Amino acid sequence: MKYLKNRSSRFGNHILKLILILLAVIFALPLYITVINIFKPTKMISASPMSLPIPPILDNIKSVLQSPNVNIGQMYFNSICITVFGVGICILISSMAAYYIVRTKKNREALYIFIFYLGLWFHM
Amino acid sequence: MSKKAVSMILAVAMMASMVSGCGKSSSNQPGSDMKEPANATEQPVNNESSTNGEDITLTWAVFETDNYTAEVWQHIIDTFEADNPGIKIEKVLMTGDSRPQFLKTMLAAGNMPDINIDPVDLAGTDGIYAEVPEELLGNYEDASIATYNGKHTLVPAYKALRTQCYYHKDQFEEAGITEEPKTWDEFLDICEKLAAAGKTPLMGVGASDIWATSFGWWTGVTNADIQKAYPTFNEDILSGKLKWTDPVIADSLNAWKTLIDAGYYHKGSMSFSYTQASEEFINGSTAMFMDGAWSAAGYDASGLTTDDMGVFVMPAPSGAKSYCTMPQYWGVSETCQNKEAAFAFCEYVLGGNTDIYKYYLQADGTYSVTKDPAEYEMGSIQTKFSENYKEYELIPEIMKMVGDTAIPTGFEDFTCKSLQNIFTGASVESELETWDAEMERLQAASE
Amino acid sequence: MRKKSKLFVFPAFLIYTLLMIVPIAGAFYLSLTDWNGISAGFNLIGFKNYAAMFKDTRLHNSIGVTITITFVVSITVNVLGLFIASLLNNAGKITNTLRSIFFLPYVMSTVAISFIWFSILSYTGVLNSILESLGFGNIITDYIGNSKNAILSICVIEIWRTLGFHMVLYLASIQTVPEDLYEACTVDGGSRWQKFRYVTLPMIVPGITISVIMSIMSEMKQYDIVKVITNGGPGYSTETITYNIVTQAFGNNMLGYSSAIAVFLFIIIAAVSMIQLKAGSKLEV
């Protein structure tokens, strides 16, 4: 396919790539700000939010992990439990249902598919 | 870096945080999430407390603020458990900005905590809270006991003073203000002087803390104005004798509007959450802040004195000189299986053990309601705060009245939102017109 | 093996009925009562809740807000998503990294995102500090406390959050378009834009349908961001329908009424989706 691109379209390609990278940078800005603000003391966050944390401090992370309301182990365990069981059972059951639906006659299949699609609407 | 290295690092970080988090002794159940109404079907009510052998476990719903930290609750729990072996208290943190909503979701899920702080919203409905034994009620001032449908279902905990205006003394000096304002005109005067000196007079609150936008003005000024004109306001408004569009209320709110329209509030007020606004005020962004009594205790604890921070009562446009207190209660849920132990806990903390009671009161700067008042050392700012009320008359607070003269549930939130509308420019009269219809609607719904 | 048993479908159907059909039916039933969520008894009051809904101006306001947010976010996300996906298609080596960057906000918890953006959009937050240091001090405004700005802020946050997901959808759809169609277009002398309009667009109509339906449905149920950042906004200006449902249910103790609103929302979303599906199937190539 490369031979089909002539010089002008390759230049346009570069411009578009640049636009893409610019968009990605703007997009990632909030995440970048959050991550670097983890390691900064509060005053520095309000004073210069975009600067790099030099020197980095770990107090914020410590206070979250050691707060008596936060039991990270229990929280992770809960999330992992829910994910593993939920996704596991879901995959198992839905593949079974899908197998049956695919291999039956058309009219019954339509009814089941319609009913299951109803469920899709509430999951977003 | 290769993908493998990145995933290794992430996995190690997760393990490290899990290990350090597990190394604590306390563990508590996270509160249940709010579910969509479509999923709320009726469920059989069961409760948390278990009786394994001789150990009774009670669940205690608490909330945390800058003053009520986790250490405060833990200290109370530890002291109680040391004196009462065989009863264990489990703390349940009421998350979210609306504690009644949290309790209602817990109730709907069948997980109602045994002992609740701030149960006033739900107490209006029969059958949620257990009746308090008369001997326990005898410990408390008669005026503080609440009656719902003829029954005494709540244990008085404390009473809190409400709101005054805090100010930075250095900013007042720079603007040439020498005295605290005693009348409404003097107050307008100092606002003008501060604006002329290039300072922002007042701090406001917005964002997700809707209650805080109107808190200072409504509880400090409008409440006083209304009660001065109509001493039996609650009964009258509930029976329909008075309407919310009354000129007294409109005048009071219009006075607020003059402050807002003159631009005396900080420009970013509506985007600050309450904690943010407090921080900005402490850092000196504005000269004054109409804030609650809990801040006085906080300022004292952080080392400020009356040399830096002054406080005066907001002068009301109608000249009323009164103040209100908000009573707070604890309730024991009807679903509790160990009511004796639960009431024993209430009795212990709320007066039984005077040291713990003082500790509890001191945390938030509140005042005791026991017949034998428990007094504690107050810092300079808090002392000034309570001394300011020496010549003032004590009146009930309209929105917080409990018992049969209480305003219907949900109305206070409605008024907070409406007052926010006024803050952002709506006209006072058009907003007040919506209050009557809403109150009728909520009254009809709560029957 | 030709044996197929209906039992295969049974467990899925059972869970589905119990966890989905029964609560929805319960909501229908509750909407005909005046239950307040706490007391034990309630009365059947027929369609009074639905009648009350027509007079509720607060509900009308929240419907307006929800429709505004849905419109703005859906259109922006789909157009921008399609644009970025078509760019990414030709990007070559950096496609994967960029795709992850764009998709990352979608996997984060909405509450965490709300806090991040709250600190950015606050009056003394990151955005205003950057604007000041760049010298644009005169356009500093309140992004959250001002009613018009608040809705825009919520739209921006939602766009930021869901763009990645739709972009990935579109990328997958675009990559299914067979190459020979593009070659045919080049042979016929088609430019880049004509390729896009006459080859790509018609072929990805099913993808567009799904993406638009999903964005509309998820925006109509917007709640988390509104609750955490503005709590319904200054006054009522950023209340969405779901926010109204939850407040009426647990704030005002009117569970029957809020169930009626929930049923109403369900009907609207179902109707909109069905219209979309019909239109999509007609446009399919």
Tens digit of each residue's pLDDT (9 = 90 or more) over C180-239: 888 888 888 888 888 888 888 888 888 898 899 889 988 888 888 888 888 888 888 889
Which alpha helices (DSSP H) does C17-122 contain, by range?
Answer: 22-30, 48-55, 57-89, 95-107, 110-121
Instruction: Assign 3-state DSSP to chain B and report helix, strand, coil percentages, each to 5.
Output: 45, 15, 35
Whether residue B273 sits in one domain with residue B187: yes
Backbone angles phi, psi at B367, to 5 degrees: -125, 150
Assess whether pLDDT exceeds 50 at residue A109: yes
Question: Tokens 């229990």 belong to which residue?
Answer: A74
Burial (CB < 10 A; 0-12, 13-18, 19+), residue C266, is middle
Q: Do B128 and C38 touch (CB under 8 A)?
A: yes
Whether residue A32 sits in one domain with residue A19: yes
Whether residue B272 sits in one domain with residue B386: yes
Which chains have 3 or more CB–CB distances shorter than 8 Å to chain A?
Answer: B, C
Give the whole-number percent of chain B exceeding pLDDT 90.
0
Whether residue B268 sits in one domain with residue B408: yes
Q: If contacts are CB pairs under 8 Å, which of residues 194-223 in chain C contact chain B?
A: none
**Model pLDDT, residue B19:** 54
Q: Do C9 and A97 touch (CB under 8 A)?
A: yes
**Model pLDDT, residue B36:** 33
B382-432 pLDDT per residue, tens: 888 888 888 888 887 888 887 777 888 788 888 888 888 888 888 888 888
Whether residue A98 sits in one domain with residue A79: yes
Whether residue B438 sits in one domain with residue B336: no
Alpha carbon of B420: minimum distance to chain C alpha carbons (Å):
5
The mean pLDDT of B318-337, rounded to a whole number, is: 84
**Model pLDDT, residue C137:** 73
Give yes or no for a contact between C132 and C140, defined as CB atoms under 8 angstroms apart.
yes
pTM for the whole structure: 0.80
Whether residue A62 sits in one domain with residue A39: yes
Contacting residues for B333 by C-beta, under 8 A, at least 6 apart = B47, B112, B113, B114, B115, B116, B128, B129, B130
Give the Å distances, CA to CA, from B19 to A71, A72, A75, B6, B12: 10, 8, 12, 20, 11
pLDDT band, very low/low/confident/very high, at A78 (cuts 50, 70, 90): very high
Contacting residues for A15 by C-beta, under 8 A, at least 6 apart = none
Give yes or no for a contact between C220 and C70, defined as CB atoms under 8 angstroms apart.
yes
Does residue B8 lie within any of the structural domains?
no
| CATH code of the domain covering residue B409 | 3.40.190.10
Q: Do A75 and B64 touch (CB under 8 A)?
A: no
Assess whether pLDDT exceeds 90 at residue B156: no
Say which of B98, B267, B420 has its CB closest to residue C142: B267
Whether residue B318 sits in one domain with residue B206: yes
Give the Å distances, CA to CA, from B271 to A61, C60, C123, C149: 27, 25, 6, 11
Q: Do C218 and A124 touch (CB under 8 A)?
A: yes
Whether residue A55 sits in one domain with residue A3: yes
Domains and CATH numbers, chain C: 41-283 (1.10.3720.10)
Whether residue A61 sits in one domain with residue A8: yes
pLDDT band, very low/low/confident/very high, at B170 (cuts 50, 70, 90): confident
SS3 B200: strand
Whether residue B406 sits in one domain with residue B259: yes
* Plot region of B149 (φ>0 → left; ψ -120 to 50 → alpha; else → beta): left
Three-point CA angle A57, A61, A64, nearest 5°: 145
What is the CA B277 to chain-centroid distance, rounded?
A: 17
Q: Which of B378, B394, B409 is the last residue of a domain?
A: B378
Tell me which residues of chain A have a C-beta less than 8 Å from any C-beta of chain C: 1, 4, 9, 12-13, 16-17, 19-21, 23-24, 27-28, 30-31, 33-34, 46, 48-50, 93-94, 96-97, 99-101, 103-104, 112, 115-116, 118-119, 121-122, 124
Give the whole-number percent of chain B exceeding pLDDT 70.
88
The mean pLDDT of B143-168, rounded to a whole number, is: 83
**Chain A residues touching residue C221 (CB < 8 angstroms):** 124
Nearest alpha carbon to residue B115 among B343, B328, B327, B326: B343
Instruction: Assign 3-state DSSP to chain A and report helix, strand, coil percentages, each to 5.
Output: 75, 0, 25
- Closest chain B residue to the Cα of C223, Cα to Cα: B36
C-alpha–C-alpha distance, residues C281 and C285, integer Å: 9
Say which of C9, C129, C269 has its CB closest to residue A49: C129
**Model pLDDT, residue A81:** 95
| Chain B touched by C24 (CB under 8 Å) | yes
Whether residue A46 sits in one domain with residue A24: yes
**Chain B residues touching residue C251 (CB < 8 angstroms):** 98, 100-101, 409-410, 413
Assess whether pLDDT exceeds 60 at residue B343: yes
What is the CA B33 to chain-centroid distance, rounded?
A: 22
For B20, other C-beta atoms within 10 Å of its C-beta total: 15
Whether residue B303 sits in one domain with residue B226: yes
Residue to substitute from C119, C214, C225, interface A, most A β-carbons within 10 A:
C119
The sign one gets for the Cα dihedral A28, A31, A33, A35 is negative
Alpha carbon of C255: minimum distance to chain B alpha carbons (Å):
8
Whether residue A45 sits in one domain with residue A97: no
SS3 B215: helix
- Give the total residue count for chain C: 285
Whether residue B215 sits in one domain with residue B343: no
**Model pLDDT, residue B38:** 33
SS3 B330: strand
Query: Mean pLDDT over all residues of chain A?
Result: 77
Does residue B17 lie within any of the structural domains?
no
Highest-confidence segment of B142-146, B289-293, B433-437, C72-76: C72-76
Nearest alpha carbon to residue B372 among B349, B352, B343: B352
Number of domains forming the structure of chain B: 2
Q: A76-106 as b/e, with b when 16 or more CB fall inside 10 Å?
A: beeeeeeeeeeeeeeeebeebbbebbeeeee
Whether residue B420 sits in one domain with residue B298: yes
**Model pLDDT, residue B27:** 32
Whether residue B147 sits in one domain with residue B56: yes
pLDDT band, very low/low/confident/very high, at A5 (cuts 50, 70, 90): low
| Chain A touched by B12 (CB under 8 Å) | no
Alpha carbon of B7: minimum distance to chain C alpha carbons (Å):
14
| Chain A touched by B303 (CB under 8 Å) | no
pLDDT band, very low/low/confident/very high, at B219 (cuts 50, 70, 90): confident
More confident residue, B96 or B291: B291
Tokens of B95: 């998350």
**Model pLDDT, residue B241:** 85
B114-141 pLDDT per residue, tens: 888 888 777 777 778 888 888 888 888 8
ipTM above 0.85, yes or no: no
Residue to substitute from C126, C191, C195, interface A, most A β-carbons within 10 A:
C126
Q: Do C145 and B209 touch (CB under 8 A)?
A: no
C-alpha–C-alpha distance, residues B76 and B103, integer Å: 22
Whether residue A64 sits in one domain with residue A92: no
Does residue B185 lie within any of the structural domains?
yes
C-alpha–C-alpha distance, residues B97 and C100, integer Å: 35
**Chain B residues touching residue C96 (CB < 8 angstroms):** none
Does residue B75 lie within any of the structural domains?
yes
Query: Mean pLDDT over all residues of chain C?
Result: 85
Nearest alpha carbon to residue B131 among B327, B336, B286: B336
- Closest chain C residue to the Cα of B205, Cα to Cα: C145
Backbone angles phi, psi at B265, to 5 degrees: -85, 150
Residue to substitute from A20, A35, A64, interface C, most C β-carbons within 10 A:
A20
Tell me which residues of chain A have a C-beta less than 8 Å from any C-beta of chain B: 65-76, 78
More confident residue, B108 or B422: B422
C-alpha–C-alpha distance, residues A5 and A14, integer Å: 13
C-alpha–C-alpha distance, residues C20 and C26, integer Å: 10
Whether residue A61 sits in one domain with residue A101: no
B17-69 pLDDT per residue, tens: 555 544 433 333 233 333 333 333 333 333 334 444 567 888 888 888 877 88
**Model pLDDT, residue B146:** 79
The mean pLDDT of A104-110, rounded to a whole number, is: 66
Number of domains forming the structure of chain A: 2
Does residue B1 lie within any of the structural domains?
no
**Model pLDDT, residue B52:** 44
More confident residue, B159 or B34: B159
C-alpha–C-alpha distance, residues C12 and A91, integer Å: 10
Whether residue B394 sits in one domain with residue B374: no
B260-280 pLDDT per residue, tens: 888 888 888 888 888 888 888
CA dihedral A53, A57, A60, A65 (to 10 degrees): 130
Sheet strands (E) in B63-152: 87-93, 115-117
* Plot region of B284 (φ>0 → left; ψ -120 to 50 → alpha; else → beta): left
Say which of C22, C235, C258 has its CB closest to residue B417: C235
Whether residue A112 sits in one domain with residue A56: no
Query: Mean pLDDT over all residues of chain B?
Result: 79
A10-65 pLDDT per residue, tens: 677 788 888 888 888 888 888 888 888 888 887 777 667 677 777 888 888 888 88
**Chain A residues touching residue C90 (CB < 8 angstroms):** 13, 16
**Model pLDDT, residue B12:** 64
Alpha carbon of A63: minimum distance to chain B alpha carbons (Å):
11
For A14, the domain range is 1-69
Q: In which element (H, E) is residue B311 found?
A: strand B309-312
Q: Do B104 and C253 touch (CB under 8 A)?
A: yes
Pairing of strands B163-168, B200-202: unpaired
B7-16 pLDDT per residue, tens: 666 666 666 5
Secondary structure letter of residue B139 according to DSSP: T
Whether residue B372 sits in one domain with residue B417: no
C95-134 pLDDT per residue, tens: 888 888 888 899 988 888 888 898 888 888 888 888 888 8
Backbone angles phi, psi at B289, to 5 degrees: -155, 125
Which chains have 3 or more CB–CB distances shorter than 8 Å to chain C?
Answer: A, B
C-alpha–C-alpha distance, residues C165 and C107, integer Å: 9
C-alpha–C-alpha distance, residues A23 and A17, integer Å: 10
For B153, the domain range is 45-161+326-378
SS3 B160: strand
Whether residue A62 sits in one domain with residue A32: yes
Nearest alpha carbon to residue B311 among B419, B96, B423, B167: B167
Whether residue A36 sits in one domain with residue A23: yes
Q: Do C123 and B410 touch (CB under 8 A)?
A: no
| Interaxial angle between packed helices B184-196 and B247-261, expressed in degrees from 0 to 180 and rounded to the nearest 10 | 10
CA atoms within 13 A of residue B400's CA, in its CB half-sphere: 20
